[in-house]
C-alpha cells in the first residue's frame, strides 16, 4: 500500500468519525521518544474538537501513556483510541485516558503490566509483575513446605541474587501503574461512574496472570471500559489502515 492510499484511508476515517486522526504504529516499546514528534503533529493540527489515535503497540514504559494522554488532551475536547489489532499493557493504560475505545472483532487490549529492563541482560525487557510473582512463588514454597528449612535452603541462593533496591523499584512501578490507571479512569473514561474505577483498575493490574492475555471488545465492555464497536465501512477502513502500516513495516525490515 502506497502512502497516498494510507492518507486516503485516514481522510475517510476522519470523515466517518468527524475527527482528526493520528496514528501510532510500532513494534518497539512505547516510551518518551514519542512525545516530541507527537507534539509537532499536534501543533500542526492545532486545537480541535476531537482527536482519534489509531494505536498499535505491545506496551512499554509505565510513565509514557499518562504523558501522551495529557499532551493530546491539551489540543482537543474529546479523545478516542482506535485499536485495529493490539494495544497491550502500557498501551492499554493509554486507552484508559480516552473517552471511548473503538474496537473490532480482532482488537485486543491487555492487562496493565509495564515492561522494565532486565538488571543483567540490558536488551531484555521483562513484565514488572514477573518479579512479584517470583517472590510470591518462593514465599508459598517456604510456607507450604513440609520441610520449610529445606525449602529455605533451596530458595535462599536464588533470592540472594535479587537486589533489594531493584525489587523496591519494581514494586514502585507496579504501584505507579495502579495510580495512573485510577487517575485516568476517574478523570476521563469513568468520570461519570466513579464506583467502577477501583473495579476496573484491580482487574487490569491484578486480575490476569498472563502478560499477553487478550481482552477483546466484549470482555472489555464487561469490565466497564467504554467500547464502541466498529462495523461496516468504519471497521473496513480501520482494518485496511492497519494492513497498510503492517505492510510498510515489513517492507522496511
User: pLDDT value at position 119?
Assistant: 61
User: pLDDT value at position 218?
Assistant: 97
Distance between CA atoms of residues 233 and 196, nearest Å:
32
- At 174-204, the pLDDT tens digits run 889 999 999 999 999 999 999 999 999 999 9
User: pLDDT value at position 154?
Assistant: 61
User: pLDDT value at position 250?
Assistant: 86
Give the chain's radius of gyration (CA, Å): 20
Strands 100-103 and 115-117, bridge-based pairing: unpaired
Distance between CA atoms of residues 245 and 21, nearest Å:
14
- At 88-120, the pLDDT tens digits run 999 999 999 999 999 999 999 999 976 666 666
The residue extents of the domains of the chain are: 3-115+204-251
Residue range 3-115+204-251 forms a domain whose CATH class is: alpha beta
Distance between CA atoms of residues 192 and 134, nearest Å:
38
User: pLDDT value at position 124?
Assistant: 62
- The list of the chain residues with pLDDT below 50 reads 165
Q: Cite the beta strand spans of 36-114 per DSSP E.
A: 48-56, 76-83, 100-103
User: pLDDT value at position 14?
Assistant: 98
193 phi and psi angles, rounded to 5 deg: -135, 65
Amino acid at each position: 500500500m502506497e502512502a497516498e492510499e494510507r492518507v486516503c484511508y485516514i481522510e475517510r476515517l476522519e470523515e466517518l468519525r468527524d475527527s482528526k486522526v493520528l496514528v501510532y504504529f510500532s513494534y518497539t516499546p512505547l516510551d518518551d521518544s514519542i512525545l516530541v514528534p507527537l507534539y509537532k503533529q499536534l501543533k500542526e493540527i492545532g486545537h480541535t474538537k476531537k482527536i482519534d489515535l489509531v494505536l498499535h503497540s505491545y506496551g512499554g514504559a509505565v510513565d509514557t501513556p499518562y504523558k501522551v494522554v495529557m499532551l493530546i488532551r491539551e489540543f482537543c475536547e474529546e479523545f478516542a483510541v482506535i485499536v485495529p489489532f493490539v494495544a497491550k499493557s502500557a498501551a492499554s493504560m493509554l486507552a484508559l485516558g480516552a473517552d471511548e475505545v473503538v474496537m473490532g472483532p480482532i482488537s485486543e487490549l491487555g492487562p496493565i503490566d509495564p515492561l522494565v529492563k532486565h538488571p543483567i541482560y540490558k536488551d531484555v525487557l521483562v513484565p514488572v509483575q514477573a518479579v512479584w510473582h517470583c517472590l510470591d512463588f518462593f514465599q508459598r514454597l517456604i510456607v507450604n513446605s513440609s520441610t520449610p528449612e529445606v525449602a529455605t535452603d533451596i530458595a535462599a541462593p536464588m533470592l540472594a541474587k535479587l537486589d533489594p533496591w531493584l525489587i523496591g523499584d519494581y514494586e514502585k512501578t507496579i504501584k505507579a501503574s495502579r495510580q495512573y490507571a485510577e487517575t485516568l479512569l476517574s478523570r476521563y473514561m469513568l468520570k461519570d461512574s466513579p464506583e467502577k474505577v477501583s473495579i476496573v483498575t484491580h482487574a487490569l493490574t491484578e486480575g490476569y496472570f498472563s502478560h499477553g492475555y487478550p481482552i477483546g471488545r466484549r470482555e472489555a465492555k464487561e469490565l466497564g471500559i467504554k467500547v464502541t464497536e466498529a462495523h461496516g465501512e468504519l471497521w473496513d477502513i480501520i482494518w485496511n489502515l492497519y494492513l497498510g502500516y503492517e505492510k510498510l513495516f515489513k517492507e522496511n525490515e
